[in-house]
A and B are shown apart, each in its own frame.
Chain A
Amino acid sequence: MRLTFGDDVEAFRREFLGWLAENRPSEEEMAAEPAVSSAHLPGWARRWTRRMFDAGWLVPGWPPELGGRNAGPVEVLVYLEELTKAGVPRTTNPQGLGIVAPSVLDYGSEEQIRDYAMPVLRGEMAACLGMSEPGAGSDLASLSTRAVLDGDHFVINGQKVWTSGANYADFCFLFCRTDPDASKHKGISVVLVDMATPGLTVRPLAEIIKPEHPDLNEVFLSDVVVPKANLVGQMNNGWAMANGSLAHERGMVWLSGVLGLEEDVDALLAEAPAALSRMEPSERAVVADGLVQSVIDATAARCLGYRGFAKLVRGGSAPEQALMKAFTSEAKQRLTLRAAEMGADRAGDISADPTSRDPWGDTWIERYFRTFGGTISAGSSEIQRNIIAEKVLGLPRT
């Protein structure tokens, strides 16, 4: 165990920071055209992705032709940390860069890589991930959107829901049922669907906070015709891809949870002195204890994440990684609620901030409600606990 990384990693950090200072998008251009959805590519974001791709900083762990520099996992960790510290988003299309492009690279044809994966990596196209359905949420394998092969094309009918960024995406990485007679995990395939295809309609789902900036959508597919060439990988091999695509996400996804929590703790500690100074000593003590617990949570999340990460880097297994998603999203929920309570003596605390131009710039209580996006999506906290109990602790399935 040691607190610091080696000299080679620190040299890598300096190199990246030097490049970042020269090439980052400015605060002004980001503020002038904020990204309003997780598949929205404002002009600055397109240029920024392209600059990172060309310089080998988009996915540092990949080879140069894919926008990387063959960096090791510790270097990638340092890179992601420094980007977050600098306040620069790595991408405004996280599912596209983090899940869809890597999955197409892993499973797709040469043409699919050329026409779908590479444009995402160059900031030219945005992708969404069509997984959940009204009847298939936590139990994704029950999905019923049907793709029927008819000669050289599929005809697709069905409905997706909670599809982040579908209202801005150029194409969808769509999970659909291609063999209704097989057992539920064995009849699923993935098809790439252009969002402009006739018969495909998107209905944004306004969310409980900032309904004017919906990111979630319903996607309706009615006799949507898609070339057979858009089938990704093998027919009926979609479930392996569902696990594979999420594995891309899992590798480093814990870090965004940790960094997000730390950002919130910093913001909270910056606000705390003024808020606490208005309180009676007894109230101050109660509130301070809550803040301390959030500080401990954030430090623990970092320590836990780093410990699991170090095990993985050494080629071992890291059961504690399974804890990270539920822990960081629930810690964020506790933190935002405490932060809102800290301001409970201010009448204005429950009103939205009308002066904020940032679409994500919420009050603490709004952010609290927004944290449920973290505890519900991508495997709810309850599903996470089932996974931990069965896969990590080895408890018998029901």
Chain B
Amino acid sequence: MDLELSEDESDLRDNVRAVLASICPPAAVRAVYEGKGDRASIWSRMVELSWPALAIPEQHGGLGLGFVEVALVAEELGRAVVPSPFLATVTQFAPAVRELGGGSPLAGEVLGRVAAGEVTGTVALAEDGRWEPTAVHATATATGSADGWVLGGAKDAVLDGAEADEVVVVARAPGSSGRESLGAFLVPRTALAAAPRTVLDPTLPLADLGLDGVVVPADRVLAAPGTPGVAEALDRAGQEATVALATATAGACRAIFEQTVEYAKVREQYGRPIGSFQALKHRMADMFLAVERAASLCYFAALTIAEDDPRRAEAASMAKAAAGECQGLIAKDGLQLHGGIGYTWEHDLHFLLKRAKSGDVLYGNAVHHRARLARMLGLVRGEAVA
């Protein structure tokens, strides 16, 4: 196993970091917090640079690279707190379309439009605060009718739920339960009743989506309820979304850690830099460990997806759990070591703190993923396997 970046991979990372420093400086993040953000211009630059096309197969007009490259971009997005449709479109929507749609013409057309930057998207998965796509509690329904499928119910906390062009909606046959009766539909966001949430981090906007009465024509069905393999496809797509969020969170954590160390070197009290006090040195050494532990697991998980290794489900949950735990420690000590200045709105630190916390929560926090691992390892029983 070689977990160090190749030359191409580190070139990509450096390039992405440089571009983001110019198109998304802290002032651009602050503008989002103040309601004056410009996601569109950041996204159009990403499209010019073909970032949405990175992992789309060449046959659909993409660059045909793998998930490692996507994860490297995600890490930098977290590091710079970038507001953009990238995470929802590239790491949630596109994988779901690919996994659910198989080789269908509909999936091919949609992936081509993602690669070209013509469409943004997201996935409506969670219900009632639960992230397991296949949880027996999922109640959104799809009922067959002469015009196609009629949806019912509601979805929770959809990333870019009020911004994306297209939404993959997961719903099940009425009265059914379990993993076998799920379906997935491609719905224009404007057809759905979107209720934006007031969120901790406006660079990761969420909305609840009402589905009642929405009609999906037959040619926009990715997988009809009961199609074999839907739950597995959602699991696989969910692993990509999970690892991308974990990696982005680890990226935000690394930025907090680096800023904290730099601050501790220059902030003086009692006539010496506060970073010379052993009590603080040891806390920063522990922050370093937490960041490297999470980042290493994120790279490993990204590799298991890129190489379609059988460990990918476990690796994804380990990465997300470690990123969530890292976030907890980094936020606590990063803010504490900054002292009063880090507690102010004027200082940029809170953008990173909030981004890291949001990244922990989306697609399940550390506790959620440790519980998943406990089920996968057969240590406890539960309704959902993974």
Task: List the A side residues contacting B5 at CB < 8 Å.
Answer: 1
Contact A292 B377 (CB under 8 A): yes
Chain A minimum-CB-distance residue to B292: A320
B45 beta carbon closer than 8 Å to chain A: no
Q: A302 vs B261: C-alpha distance in the bound complex, in angstroms? A: 26
A382 beta carbon closer than 8 Å to chain B: yes
Q: A189 vs B379: C-alpha distance in the bound complex, in angstroms? A: 55
Task: List the B side residues contacting A396 at CB < 8 Å.
Answer: 265, 272-273, 275-276
Closest Cβ of chain B to A241, distance in Å, is 27
B304 beta carbon closer than 8 Å to chain A: yes
Of A167-175, A176-184, A304-312, the one with at least 4 CB within 8 A of chain B = A304-312
Partner of A389, one of B2, B68, B281: B281
Supposing A3-B309, A292-B379 touch, asked if A300 and B3 sit within 8 A by C-beta, the answer is no
A243 beta carbon closer than 8 Å to chain B: no
Q: A62 vs B230: C-alpha distance in the bound complex, in angstroms? A: 54
Q: Which of B3-28 contact A (CB under 8 A)?
A: 3-6, 9
Chain A minimum-CB-distance residue to B281: A389
Task: List the A side residues contacting B380 at CB < 8 Å.
Answer: 276, 281, 284-285, 288
Q: A344 vs B304: C-alpha distance in the bound complex, in angstroms? A: 36
B296 beta carbon closer than 8 Å to chain A: yes
A323 beta carbon closer than 8 Å to chain B: yes
B300 beta carbon closer than 8 Å to chain A: yes
Instruction: Place the interface of chain A in its size category.
Output: 35 or more
Partner of B297, one of A303, A389, A393, A395: A303
Chain B minimum-CB-distance residue to A273: B378
Partner of B374, one of A289, A307, A311: A289
Partner of A1, one of B6, B281, B285: B6
Q: Which of B318-336 contact A (CB under 8 A)?
A: 318, 321-322
A85 beta carbon closer than 8 Å to chain B: no
Contact A303 B288 (CB under 8 A): no
Partner of A289, one of B3, B286, B370: B370
Closest Cβ of chain B to A63, distance in Å, is 26
Q: A185 vs B265: C-alpha distance in the bound complex, in angstroms? A: 28
Closest Cβ of chain B to A338, distance in Å, is 12
Supposing A284-B380, A296-B373, A307-B4 touch, asked if A394 and B299 sit within 8 A by C-beta, the answer is no
Partner of B276, one of A276, A295, A306, A398: A398
Q: Which of B265-315 contact A (CB under 8 A)?
A: 265, 272-273, 275-278, 281-282, 284-286, 288-289, 292-294, 296-297, 299-300, 302-304, 306-307, 309, 315
A392 beta carbon closer than 8 Å to chain B: yes
Q: A395 vs B2: C-alpha distance in the bound complex, in angstroms? A: 30
Closest Cβ of chain B to A4, distance in Å, is 7
Closest Cβ of chain A to B248, distance in Å, is 18
Task: List the A side residues contacting B300 at CB < 8 Å.
Answer: 299, 303
Closest Cβ of chain B to A70, distance in Å, is 22
B371 beta carbon closer than 8 Å to chain A: yes
Closest Cβ of chain A to B279, distance in Å, is 11
**Extra inter-chain contacts (7) besides given A3-B1, A384-B285, CB under 8 Å:** A276-B380, A303-B299, A307-B4, A310-B2, A327-B293, A389-B282, A393-B284
Q: List 11 A-B contacts (CB under 8 A).
A: A1-B306, A292-B321, A292-B370, A295-B377, A299-B297, A303-B296, A320-B296, A385-B282, A392-B288, A395-B261, A396-B273
